[in-house]
Amino acid sequence: MRYQILLLVNCICYVIVADEIVYPCVTPDAERAYCTSLFSCPHLMKALGSTDPLAVEFVRQSICLGCEAGDFMVCCGPPPSQKESPIPSPPTTATAISDKYSSDTSTNEDLLLRYKEAVKQRLLPDQRYCGYQHKDDRPYDSPITALDEFPWLVHVRFSNSEYEEQYADRCSGVLINNRYVLTDAYCGAESIKVKIGEYNTNQSVSCDPASKLEDCNEPVYDIAVEEIIRDGKKSNGPYDFSLLRLVKPVEYSDFVRPICLPIDQSKRPSPTSLVFSGWGAPNSTGIAKKRLTYNVVNDEVCYKESDWLEGNVKFANASFICTSPPINPTTLACAGEHGGPFMYSLTRRIQWYVEGIIVSVMHKEGSSNSCNDKYPVNGIRITDNTIDWILSTIRR
C-alpha cells in the first residue's frame, strides 16, 4: 500500500491506493461508467495534467466520492475515442409525470439549489453516484435477490440482544447518505442501532450458492443510532418520517450504498407500481432480503380495510401511498417490512429513487401470519416539504 498526496481543484486528499474498487456512476457527459480511483483512469489523469482549464474542470465534475472512499474517486467513462457498450435495462417501474407531484416552480428551484449546496458540502451524494447497484450491470432474472441488490436497505434494531419473537416486529430503513437513515416514525422511535450490509438475518456473511466463484458479501456490522429526529409532531401518529443519525459514517461498498432522493419534481414520474424490500417473516427462521413489486392503487383500497386509517392520514396531513399485490404474487409482504423504502427506477440510467416509506403492512383481522394475506401495503410519500425538512436537518 502506498500513500500519495493529491491536490485537485483546491481539495487536498491523503490518498490510499489499494485494490481497485469500482461503483456504477454517470459521467458529466451522461455516459454510464464506474466510480473508481483517479489513478486507474488514464484519460482523466492525462486531462488533469494538461493546462486546458476545460479538461481540468471536466475532471473536477467527474469526482464521485472525494476522499470518503479511502481514495480519490472519479467517474471513469470511456475515452473520447470509444463508445460505451450497452448495459441491459430492467423493466421500468415508472410512467409519465403526474399532477400529484407538481409543486410551486420557485419552491422546487430553491430546493434544487439547496440540494446542490448540500452535495458540495458532502451532506448528500451526487446524483451521479446514488441509486446505482452492480446487480443492474449484468443480466439477472432470478426471483431471489442478488447479494448486492438494494445496498441502501438497512435493518433497524430495537435491542442489542437476539430474541425469539423479534421477527414479528422487524423494521427497515434506507440510507440517504453515509450518516443518515430515513424510516417511519414507529421504527425510529425506539431504534438503538442499524445493521449495515445485511442480506440474510441469520448470517453475518452470505454467499451465492449458484455462483461458480466464491461470491459472498462483506460481514454485516452494527452502527449505533446517535440521534432520532422526527419530521412532525408526535400527535401525527405513525404517518410521519424519522431520520436516524448514526454515531459514525458507514463505509460504502458494493453492498452498502445510498439511494437517491426525488429532488427534481420536474423529472419525477408517477409510478404505476413500486418495489420494496425487507426481512419480514412468519417465524424466526433466517430470511434473505426480499424483492416485492406491488401496484399503486386508489387510497380508498387501503381506507376500506381500516376504520381509523383515513382519519389518521388526514390528521397527519400526509401524502399517502396505497399499494396492492399483483393477482398472482410469488411473494407477499409481512409485518416486518415496515419502515423500508417504496422505490422506483428510471430505466434510462437504471437509477433507483425512494418514493416514500412503508408504514403499515395490512392484514386480515385476527390473522396470526400476515405473510399469507393478500392485503395492501401503505405508507407516506416524500414531498417537497419532506425534502425541505431533510435538507434543514442533516449535518456532517
What is the pLDDT at residue 266?
82
Which residues is 86 bridged to in the sheet? none
What is the pLDDT at residue 48?
76
Dihedral sign for Cα atoms in the order 248, 187, 289, 318: negative
Q: Where does CATH 2.40.10.120 sit in the chain?
A: 125-393
Mean pLDDT of 73-86: 63
Buried b (16+ CB within 10 A) or exposed e, 307-338: eebeebbeebebbbbbbbbeeeeeebbbbbbb
Q: Where does CATH 3.30.1640 sit in the chain?
A: 24-76
Which residues in the chain belong to E strands, given as ranges?
A: 2-8, 11-17, 23-26, 32-37, 63-66, 73-76, 153-157, 171-175, 180-184, 193-196, 221-230, 241-246, 273-276, 292-296, 320-324, 341-346, 351-361, 377-381
Q: Confidence band (pLDDT; 50, 70, 90) for 255?
A: very high
Q: Write down the mean pLDDT value for the chain.
A: 81
Q: At a CB cut-off of 8 Å and minimum separation 6, what does 305 contact?
A: 362, 375, 376
What is the pLDDT at residue 17?
36
Assess whether pLDDT exceeds 60 at residue 20.
no
Mean pLDDT of 150-167: 78
Assess whether pLDDT exceeds 70 at residue 168.
no
Q: How far apart are CA 29 and CA 54, in angstroms?
A: 13
Q: What percent of the chain has pLDDT over 70?
A: 78
Q: What percent of the chain has pLDDT over 90?
A: 47
Q: How far apart are CA 120 and CA 126, in angstroms?
A: 9
Assess whether pLDDT exceeds 50 at residue 12.
no
What is the pLDDT at residue 234?
80
The better pLDDT of the pair 152, 135 is held by 152
370's grid cell = 400476515
Backbone angles phi, psi at 54, to 5 degrees: -70, -40
Q: Confidence band (pLDDT; 50, 70, 90) for 260?
A: very high
**Right CATH number for 125-393 from 3.40.50.1820, 3.30.43.10, 3.40.50.1100, 2.40.10.120?**
2.40.10.120
What is the pLDDT at residue 52?
76
Q: How far apart are CA 28 and CA 11, in angstroms?
A: 19
Cα dihedral 23, 26, 28, 31, rounded to 10, equals 120
Which residues is 229 bridged to in the sheet? 243
The better pLDDT of the pair 295, 236 is held by 295
What is the pLDDT at residue 331?
85
105-114, 117-126, 147-156: which has the minimum mean pLDDT? 105-114
158-162, 243-247, 349-353: which has the minimum mean pLDDT? 158-162
Q: How far apart are CA 201 and CA 289, in angstroms?
A: 8
What is the pLDDT at residue 156?
95
Assess whether pLDDT exceeds 70 at residue 205.
yes
Architecture (CATH level 2) of domain 24-76: 2-Layer Sandwich (3.30)
Mean pLDDT of 110-130: 93
Cite the DSSP H helix spans in the chain.
42-49, 53-61, 105-120, 185-189, 299-303, 309-315, 384-393
Residue positions counted in the chain: 396
What is the pLDDT at residue 39?
73
354's grid cell = 425512494
Mean pLDDT of 59-79: 69
Mean pLDDT of 165-188: 88
